[in-house]
Amino acid sequence: MGVLPIVWLAGCSLIVPGPDSFRYSSDGEILADAGAVDAGPADSGRLGADASIDSGPECMPVGDEVCNGLDDDCDTRVDEEPTDATTSDDCGSCGVRCGVQCTSDRVCENFVQVEAGRRFSCGLTTLGRVLCWGINSSGQLGRGAAGGQETSPVEVPGISAVTTIAVGDSHACALLADNRVLCWGSNARNQIGNRVSGGIVPAPTEVLRQFGALGDAGSIRELRAHGDLTCAIVGAAVAASSLYCWGDNRFGQIGSSSGGVPSEAPIDRATQVSSLLQLITAAPGVAHACAVTASAGLSCWGDGSMLGDGVTDHGASCSGRDCSLAQVVPGQDAAVAIFSGDGVSCSRSGDGSVSCWEAGQPPAPRTDLRGVLSLSLRVSRFTPVSCGVADSGGVSCWGDNSWGALGTSAPATTAVAVPVDGISAAVQVSTGETHVCATTTEGLGYCWGSDRAGELGDGELAHGMTCRPAPGMPAEDCSSTPQRVVATN
């Protein structure tokens, strides 16, 4: 508490101003005499931030408390119980930010997951809703019709109580609380899994097995997608779990052929990956997939150059480069997590060490990634950018920065992970074709990189940065600074 000012008047009368004669800060500190008024309406009598000690009227209430840094109701408190705290920047209390919206009962709806695809993104909220934004050429926004684009998140209609989402290049999937998996978007390689080949499926549609729905096989514990491939771990207990995948199978990445020779045809329904049981975690890539099991450790299958054994062509043991039978990755017995992407995989051991490999390579340690909690990987196509979230909450990326997808203005390209500017409390990161998105502990979503189709989700298509990644390619709007995703509903 500050010292009360004493004012001496003629006639030696001592006047000590009462408590209502002062302006107070939010912690009760006396800031100035109430005679000082703010720069607002003349003679309002409110106490403002730029008040000075001067003679004038005592604090006079002007109405209910609102978020303006003033003591509007003259109760010696500032911004308490504001009546206008119903916005995504002031929800319930002043300064409480919401990732999605402030609900009618003044509770924040936040993001718990934001995933990036090819020119589009989707986010899962704390209320179990799915919002998508960006390009909709293949119905990947799930609105029931293809076409157009959205620069801000819009809700996918017809689904609720979603617990996790997975986003591929041009399709998306959601796991619901009732154990159903629904997918929507491009079905060019049967990535919807509804026993129908080809076309576009612009509305959420349930994933099926040969007989019945995927959810009928058991409790679904994990759902992940990359490229045109999606996989789900079925079975709540590791000891009684199995892996189902559907979609692209050009390299045997569905892993459904017992003889090692894949059919190479897209699989239009959820199909159990043969020879893999006791699943801990799994990671589909574009042309390969990997899994950590309690029984065999880390194994990979699909494109034979991506199996982590340093061999490109496995000959008769597969079908040249196509290996649908899972192969144990040498030297990875301590792996507890696996992350696969477009032409790259990385494993994380229990001690936090990370090893990565690309086509035809064995795993090699990545000291710059030690301690990461999660990774999202791309190497071989379009913009090769990979990112990771450290246990400190920081995000680091490496690869090509042509679209600003490294989240920093420099360097142009780097093989070593560099910190993303302005992200310090991330819990998840996802790399799309030319952009990256992350979710923070506060429940906010951020995206950066290309914004040609509105995939950054901030409602803008002009960020003051123009990208032209290669001669002859059209220029497009980009941002190397993470932009906060701004929902419209």
Give 399-425 pLDDT, tens digit per residue: 999 899 999 988 889 999 999 999 999
pLDDT tens across 268-293, in order? 999 999 878 999 999 999 999 999 99
How would residue 22 be classed by pLDDT, with cut points 50, 70 and 90? very low
CB atoms within 10 A of CB 19: 10
pTM of the model: 0.85
Mapped onto helix, strand or coil, the DSSP state of residue 191 is coil
Q: Which of 42, 90, 45 is nearest to 67 (CA)?
A: 90
**What are the extents of the domains in the chain?**
1-84
Residue 80 pLDDT: 81
Instruction: Read off the pLDDT of residues 423-452 as tens digits, 9 standing for 90 and up.
Output: 999 999 999 999 999 999 999 999 999 999
Question: Where does the pLDDT of residue 4 fall: very low under 50, low under 70, confident under 90, or very high at 90 and above?
Answer: very low
Beta bridge partners of 130: 124
* CA distance linking residue 287 with residue 245, whole number of Å: 13
**How does residue 114 score in pLDDT terms, banded at 50, 70 and 90?**
very high
Q: Give the closest residue to 123 by CA, choosing from 97, 154, 150, 83.
A: 154
The rounded distance, in Å, linking the Cα atoms of 88 and 445 is 13
Strand arrangement, sheet containing 435-440 = 426-431, 435-440, 445-450, 476-484, 465-467
Q: What is the DSSP string of 346-387?
A: EEEETTS-EEEEETT---EE-GGGTTEEEEE-B-SSSS-EEE
Q: How far apart are alpha carbons 331 and 328 in whole angstroms?
A: 9
**Residue in 470, 431, 461 with CA at minimum distance from that of residue 339:** 431
